[in-house]
Amino acid sequence: MNRKVLFVDDDVNLLESFRRQLHKKVNLITAEGPKAGIETAARQGPFAVVISDYSMPVMNGVDMLRVIRHGNPDTVRILLTGHADVEIAIQAVNEGNIFRLLTKPCPPETIEKVLLDAFRHYDLVTAERELLEKTLKGSVSVLCDLISLVKPDVFGRVSRILPHLRGVSKRMADPRPWETETAAMLSVVGFITLPDSLIRKVEKGQPLTDAELQQFLGHPAFGARLVGKIPRMDGVAAIVAHQEKHYEGGGVPKEAAPGEAIPLGARILKAVVDFDILLANGMPKAEAITKMERRKGAYDPKVVAALAEVINEQARYAMQKVHLHALAPGMILAEDLYGQRGSETLLLMAKGRELNETVIEYILDNSRTVKINQPVAVIQPL
């Protein structure tokens, strides 16, 4: 368990006093002043607890702890203050920036008790976050694997767009890249309500009748309702719901505000999906980007510009052919993977699918009863 404590004060004598009192009971590191405190937190963190004096030159303790919080949100923050600063410090506690407020002089036994409380709080926060992350990621992974097995041709799109989506997300300084990527993986959940004939028309970029268009435009809302039932997935659900929203205001949801009000993840997803459809229908990459730039109002221009930059880096991927037992996580299928069972031809996995352990196991299991042509063409990130 993390029991590292950072103590920050501009009084060297006070730092030395705390070091003598606590060095045998916790892993204590001291820093003289706010600048050193911020640097130490960044260089030697994460710390379970940071204790800081309030009154220091250049930057007070509340502001310093706020900076540390940005880089280490789980760190428990404790403030030491003199009586003259109590009112200001209490306000900081009430705003949620500080876990405990201690006044000087503070007896050693009080510090030790507060540290025990802080360690318990840190353990609870980190355990809850770890459990939440593992639960969410596990749930999303299982759901995506099921979709890929039931509708491999549809989920193949997701694997194809993920490298583009990650690159654009990074260039756009996406504040929630995990939400954007998760939304991309779950963006086809609503496709389970659509007939295969309609899906094929959409994937081929063929014109839809009014009835077909209305049916297709219903899939984002359906998918968003399902995703929204998962705790803490409100942001992901919003991206899924807005994936067919045009930058100038067209598309769905009709009542949603246009432009920057559309979630950034949805703007990115809309662009990379439409780009993939153009490529799937034989259009060269440069021509596809140009075509999207001419669709005024459909996309966020900054997103399309970022996508163009990502496409220019495609040379970092190498094509190769490998046998089934050489397949590895991270590889991307460069062609549809078919199996032959007697006279029946089966599509096992659509091209563009990024392989993981579950998918590889699925392919190997099928190879025992279905004849699969080898070697398999894959794209390997360099």
Write the DSSP string, 268-310: HHHHHHHHHHHHHTT--HHHHHHHHHHSTTTS-HHHHHHHHHH
> Does residue 146 fall inside a structural domain?
no
**94 and 234 assigned to the same domain:** no
Residue 351 confidence (pLDDT): 82
Question: Quick one: CA torsion of 151, 180, 65, 48, rounded to 10 degrees?
Answer: 10
Structural domain of 340: 315-382
Overall average pLDDT of the 212-239 stretch: 92
Residue 358 CA to residue 364 CA, distance in Å, equals 10
Residue where a domain stops, chosen among 272, 295, 312: 312
The CATH number covering residue 340 comes to 3.90.105
- The C-alpha angle 251, 270, 258, rounded to 5 degrees, equals 45
**298 and 165 assigned to the same domain:** yes
DSSP letter for 133, please. H
Share of the chain above pLDDT 90, in %: 53
Name residue 377's beta-bridge partners. 321
**173 and 33 assigned to the same domain:** no
Residue where a domain stops, chosen among 60, 93, 127: 127
Name residue 317's beta-bridge partners. 381
CA-based nearest residue to 198, from 154, 133, 162 = 154
Residue 84 confidence (pLDDT): 64
**286 and 339 assigned to the same domain:** no
Residue where a domain stops, chosen among 289, 312, 335: 312
> Does residue 139 fall inside a structural domain?
no
**120 and 175 assigned to the same domain:** no
Residue 201 CA to residue 234 CA, distance in Å, equals 30
CB contact at 8 A, 29 and 56: no
Share of the chain above pLDDT 70, in %: 96
Name residue 6's beta-bridge partners. 29, 50
Residue 315's pLDDT band (cuts 50, 70, 90): low
Which residue blocks in the chain are alpha helix, DSSP H? Answer: 12-22, 34-44, 61-71, 86-94, 108-150, 152-171, 177-186, 196-203, 210-216, 219-227, 234-241, 264-280, 285-294, 301-311, 357-367
Residue 95's pLDDT band (cuts 50, 70, 90): low
> Does residue 299 fall inside a structural domain?
yes
Indicate whether 331 pLDDT > 70. yes
> Does residue 133 fall inside a structural domain?
no
What is the reported pTM? 0.62
Residue 71 confidence (pLDDT): 81
**213 and 277 assigned to the same domain:** yes
* Average pLDDT in the chain: 89
CA-based nearest residue to 92, from 83, 100, 84, 104 = 100
Phi then psi dihedrals of residue 9, to 5 deg: -160, 155
Residue 237 CA to residue 228 CA, distance in Å, equals 5
Q: How many residues does the chain have?
A: 382
Give the number of domains in the chain. Answer: 3
Residue 24's pLDDT band (cuts 50, 70, 90): confident
**177 and 259 assigned to the same domain:** yes
**117 and 28 assigned to the same domain:** yes
> Does residue 208 fall inside a structural domain?
yes
Q: Which two three-digit tokens encode residue 342? A: 């007697």
What are the pLDDT digits (tens) for 273-313?
A: 999 999 989 999 999 999 999 999 999 999 999 999 999 87
Q: Which residues have C-beta within 8 Å of that of residue 158, sequence separation ≥ 6?
A: 144, 148, 184, 185, 187, 188
**307 and 180 assigned to the same domain:** yes
The interaxial angle of helices 177-186 and 264-280, nearest 10 deg, is 50
> Does residue 319 fall inside a structural domain?
yes
> Does residue 336 fall inside a structural domain?
yes
Based on the number of CB atoms within 10 Å of its own CB, is 140 exposed (0-12), middle (13-18) or buried (19 or more)? buried
Residue 126 confidence (pLDDT): 87
Residue 23 confidence (pLDDT): 81
The CATH number covering residue 42 comes to 3.40.50.2300
Residue 271 CA to residue 299 CA, distance in Å, equals 6
**177 and 35 assigned to the same domain:** no
**307 and 321 assigned to the same domain:** no
Q: Which two three-digit tokens encode residue 79? A: 């403030």
Indicate whether 381 pLDDT > 80. no
The CATH number covering residue 161 comes to 1.10.3210.10
**280 and 354 assigned to the same domain:** no
CA 294 to chain centre: 30
- The three-class DSSP label of residue 353 is coil
> Does residue 95 fall inside a structural domain?
yes
Residue 314's pLDDT band (cuts 50, 70, 90): low
